[in-house]
Every structure is written in structure tokens, then in C-alpha cells.
């Protein structure tokens, strides 16, 4: 790590008009994290002494996120949107209150809308600044279409950087330049402060551009260098929804590629979305149309998908989830879920449990080897080891005001189409008859039957539905 990294300043004050959103641009999310979160994740790897985020439009939203996710950063408000140079001035003013910096201090300035920036790229930039004894260094890239980016100006030799020109201020010849400014800078702190004092607002936007400091430092005879990235995606900024989608797809491809290198199989990475916070162990297989988000952890040998959504869910070794949605839950080793199951928050599925098709479970625990094969709702329940819940059963947990819990022991057999009206307890080894409505506790080993006795009314169809197909069929059967 380069020495004397005094501070990282993240610029996150702009609205981003082209996003057409009430949400600040840096708070739009990719891979489960706001754009500014990705930038901070890369920056803090360099262990700066101070980290400052400059906020502005929609500051309440950005500040709320930062206070929760990044409580150690300093948040500075840019009350007037007067440009990036003005924003950096606000950050330096706040840093000045923290004490005198080292004489050779370096400052890193990063745009908050560059989520693909990596710690390696930032480290390379700082190394370039120091190894070439420069006062300013900037990340650049050469792109086929430089539209929307500032262009890098060089001297007659084509090597020395003399400045950056924003696109709105370019001439025709300058607009043809394909080397673009990546919005990531490293400065000698003293040189940056001196240049910022001279920055004006005589430009098309009437703003104080941070980019002007490059020309000011160069014109003072000090060294300014460019660190050109071979991969332009590293400095890709986001200005509209199209770029958000493009960068999101690139980030997802990086995430899935990283997991594949660690032994995870993605049958179709292009149709599988994995957030940056997800953990996957080797020999897991992820089938198409799967979305893994939040604090999801998938243990080795699991098979997930196709058509699965997992959010904040832990999946045990060798488990299988197919065509289902699971949120804020735990799935044990060797368990199987789906197809077409909906597992809601608070559910704990133990080892070797089977959850079948069209089953909904919420806030419940299921013991080792329990089975809920199909067409059932389980809410607010504890189900014991080896218990089987028959098809079309319903755990009636809500009385219109309060939720109540059902407790079912081990090795119980709940007959199909049983209504379990909570609060109720079913003892170990008990049975319920199909079609029963259970409103009272069932002792261990008992058979609970709670249904009307069947009676047949002879001749009802002929008398009440005469002339119908059913009546004719009944008459034929009587002959």
C-alpha cells in the first residue's frame, strides 16, 4: 500500500438529471449495493487515514445509508451545487478540522458513480503518483465512443498531460479525442489546495470543475501523469438508466466469473444474477434464471434453480431448491424445496426435509426428515422430526386480530385437507383423519377425527335436478 494516503474523497452530491429519478444517482443499486457503496468498498481496501463522502441533492437518503453501512466515514454536505472543484473544497475544509496532515500527504478523489473501480486500479494510480514524483495523477482509458466524458489533453510530445476538457466545452477537434477522463484522481494535497484556490467558473456550465486543477498544476511546471487503464470498464461512469443496466451486467459477469474460478458451476451465467454480498461454496450448481441476493450463503454441493430467488437465506450442504422463492430463512443439509414453493421469513427447514409443490411456509420450523409434499399452507408452526403433512392442509394461524402457533410432534401423520386451528398441539405419533378440522389438542398416539358423519340422500338428483345430464346418467345407472 502506498504511504501517506491521507484521505479518500468520494464525490456523491449530484442528482444525476439523466437518471430521471427522485433518488440521488449514487444511491441507485447494482448487485445489492448503492453505487457509492461499491466505490467505498474499493477505496477502504487502501486503508486511508480519512474517508470523506460529499453529499448534496437528496442528502437524507445518502446520509441514512452511510450512517448504517459506513459509520466511520465523514459526511460533508455541498449545499450549493457549484461543481466538482467546489465539492472537493468542502471536503478539504472538513479535513482541515481533523488536524495538520503530513507534508507529503496524498489525496484520492473518486466519483461516486464508478462502481467497477477496483482496489488494484486505485493502488496503481497512487503508485504512479509517487513513483513518478508527480503532483497529480489521473485514471484514463481509450474508448470507441467518448461521448459524455471529459477528454485528456496532452502536450506536443503526446506524453505530458496538460489538462482535461469537459465535453460541453470541447472544440470539434477536441471532441474527437478518444482518451477519456475516468473521474478518479490522486493528488499531492498541498498542490491540490493551491490549484483549487485558482479554479474559476468561466465555462459553459458556470461551475468550478475539479478537472481545471490538472491544467493549473501542469502550467505551474509540476508533473501531471495519466495512468491509462487497459480495461475502460474500470472507470465507467453512470449517467442514465441504460448505462446503469450495462454496468450492472458487466459487474454481474465479474461476480459469476469469480465464483466459477472458485469451483461453482453456473449453467448460464448471463441469466443468473448474484449480488456482491452472496457466498457460494465449491461444487454448487446454479441453474438459469436464478437470483441470489443479500446475505445468502450456499453450502457445497447444493443445486439451486432453475427459476429460484433466494434472499438472505442459508442453504445447507447438498440441498436442492427448484423453481421457488425463499426469503430470510434457513434450509438444512440434504433438504429439497420446490418446485413452486414460497418460503417466507423466519422459516427454519432442518436436515433432509422435503417441501413440495405449491407449498407456502412462514415463520415455522420443520424437524429432521419432515415432509410437506404439496398444496399446503404452514404458518407460525413447529413441526417435529419425521412428520408428514398431507396435501391441501392449512394451518389456521390468524383469528382476525392475533397470530397463534401450532405445535406438531414427531412422526405425526396429518391427513389430507386437515384444518389445524391454532393454538393447537398434536402429540408425538398422532394421526388426524383426512378432512378434519382440528380445534383441540390431540394426545400422543391418538387418531383425531373432526368431521360430519357422511349420509346419502337417495333420489336427490332426480327430484332436484330433473332433466339434467346428471339425472339421465343416474336413471341409466338404476336400470
In sequence order, the β-bridge partners of residue 362 are 379
- 131 backbone dihedrals φ, ψ, rounded to 5°: -70, -30
Structural contact between residues 142 and 155, judged by C-beta atoms closer than 8 angstroms: no
How many angstroms separate the CA atoms of 17 and 14, rounded? 8
First to last CA, the chain: 97
Coil, helix or strand for 22? coil
Residues 30, 35, 41, CA angle at the centre, nearest 5°? 105
Please write down the HEC assignment for all residues of 370-432: CEEEEEEEEECEEECCCCEECCCCEEECECCCCECCEEECCCCEECCCCEEECCEEECCCCEE
Listed in sequence order, the DSSP H helices in 162-286 are 172-175, 189-196, 212-219, 241-261
User: In the 8-state DSSP scheme, what is residue 46?
Assistant: G
The catalytically annotated residue of 342, 374, 404, 411 is: 374
State the pairing for strand pair 136-142/179-188: antiparallel
Contact in structure between 115 and 254 (CB atoms under 8 Å): no
Ramachandran assignment for 263, one of left (phi > 0), alpha (psi -120 to 50 degrees), beta (any other):
left
How far apart (Å, rounded) are the C-alpha atoms in residues 156 and 345?
64
Query: What is the rounded distance in angstroms from the CA atom of residue 108 to the CA atom of residue 93?
Result: 15
Q: Is residue 374 annotated as a catalytic residue, yes or no? A: yes
**Beta strand segments in 169-238, E:** 179-188, 224-228
Q: Annotated active-site positions, please? A: 374
Amino acid at each position: 500500500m502506498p504511504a501517506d494516503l491521507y484521505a479518500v474523497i468520494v464525490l456523491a452530491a449530484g442528482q444525476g438529471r439523466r437518471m430521471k429519478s427522485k433518488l440521488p444517482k449514487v444511491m441507485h443499486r447494482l448487485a445489492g449495493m448503492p453505487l457509492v457503496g461499491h466505490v467505498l468498498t474499493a477505496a477502504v481496501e487502501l486503508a486511508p487515514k480519512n474517508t470523506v463522502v460529499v453529499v448534496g441533492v437528496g442528502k437524507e437518503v445518502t446520509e441514512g445509508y452511510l450512517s448504517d453501512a459506513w459509520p466511520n466515514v465523514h459526511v460533508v454536505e455541498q449545499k450549493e451545487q457549484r461543481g466538482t472543484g467546489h465539492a472537493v473544497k468542502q471536503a478539504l475544509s472538513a479535513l482541515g478540522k481533523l488536524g495538520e496532515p503530513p507534508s507529503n500527504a496524498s489525496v484520492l478523489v473518486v466519483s461516486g458513480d464508478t462502481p467497477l473501480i477496483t482496489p488494484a486500479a486505485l493502488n496503481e494510480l497512487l503508485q504512479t503518483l509517487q513513483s513518478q514524483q508527480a503532483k497529480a495523477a489521473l485514471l484514463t482509458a481509450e474508448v470507441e465512443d467518448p461521448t459524455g466524458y471529459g477528454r485528456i489533453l496532452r502536450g506536443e510530445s503526446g506524453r505530458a498531460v496538460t489538462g482535461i476538457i469537459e465535453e460541453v466545452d470541447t472544440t470539434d477537434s477536441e471532441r474527437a479525442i478518444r482518451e477519456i477522463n475516468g473521474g478518479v484522481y490522486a493528488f499531492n494535497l498541498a498542490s491540490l489546495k493551491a490549484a483549487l484556490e485558482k479554479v474559476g467558473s468561466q465555462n459553459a456550465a458556470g461551475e468550478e470543475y475539479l478537472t481545471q486543477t490538472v491544467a493549473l498544476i501542469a502550467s505551474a511546471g509540476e508533473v501531471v501523469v495519466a495512468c491509462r487503464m487497459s480495461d475502460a470498464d474500470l472507470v465507467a461512469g453512470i449517467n442514465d438508466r441504460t448505462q446503469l443496466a450495462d454496468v450492472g451486467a458487466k459487474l454481474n459477469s465479474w461476480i459469476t466469473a469469480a465464483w466459477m474460478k472458485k469451483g461453482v458451476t453456473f449453467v448460464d451465467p448471463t441469466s443468473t444474477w448474484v449480488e456482491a454480498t452472496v457466498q457460494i461454496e465449491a461444487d454448487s450448481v446454479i441453474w438459469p434464471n436464478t437470483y441470489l441476493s443479500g446475505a445468502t450463503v450456499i453450502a457445497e454441493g447444493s443445486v439451486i434453480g432453475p427459476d429460484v430467488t433466494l434472499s438472505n437465506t442459508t442453504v445447507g450442504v447438498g440441498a436442492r431448491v427448484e423453481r421457488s422463492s425463499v426469503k430470510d430463512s434457513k434450509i438444512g443439509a440434504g433438504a429439497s424445496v420446490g418446485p413452486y414453493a414460497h418460503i417466507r421469513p423466519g422459516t427454519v427447514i432442518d436436515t433432509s426435509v422435503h417441501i413440495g409443490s405449491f407449498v407456502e411456509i412462514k415463520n415455522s420450523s420443520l424437524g429432521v426428515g419432515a415432509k410437506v409434499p404439496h398444496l399446503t399452507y404452514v404458518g407460525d408452526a413447529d413441526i417435529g422430526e419425521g412428520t408428514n403433512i398431507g396435501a391441501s392442509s392449512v394451518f389456521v394461524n390468524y383469528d382476525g386480530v392475533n397470530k397463534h402457533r401450532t405445535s406438531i410432534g414427531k412422526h405425526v401423520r396429518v391427513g389430507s385437507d386437515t384444518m389445524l386451528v391454532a393454538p393447537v398441539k398434536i402429540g408425538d405419533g398422532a394421526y388426524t383423519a383426512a378432512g378434519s378440522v382440528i380445534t383441540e389438542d390431540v394426545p400422543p398416539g391418538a387418531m383425531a377425527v373432526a368431521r360430519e358423519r357422511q349420509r346419502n340422500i337417495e333420489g336427490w338428483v332426480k327430484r332436484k335436478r330433473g332433466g339434467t345430464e346428471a339425472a339421465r346418467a343416474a336413471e341409466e345407472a338404476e336400470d
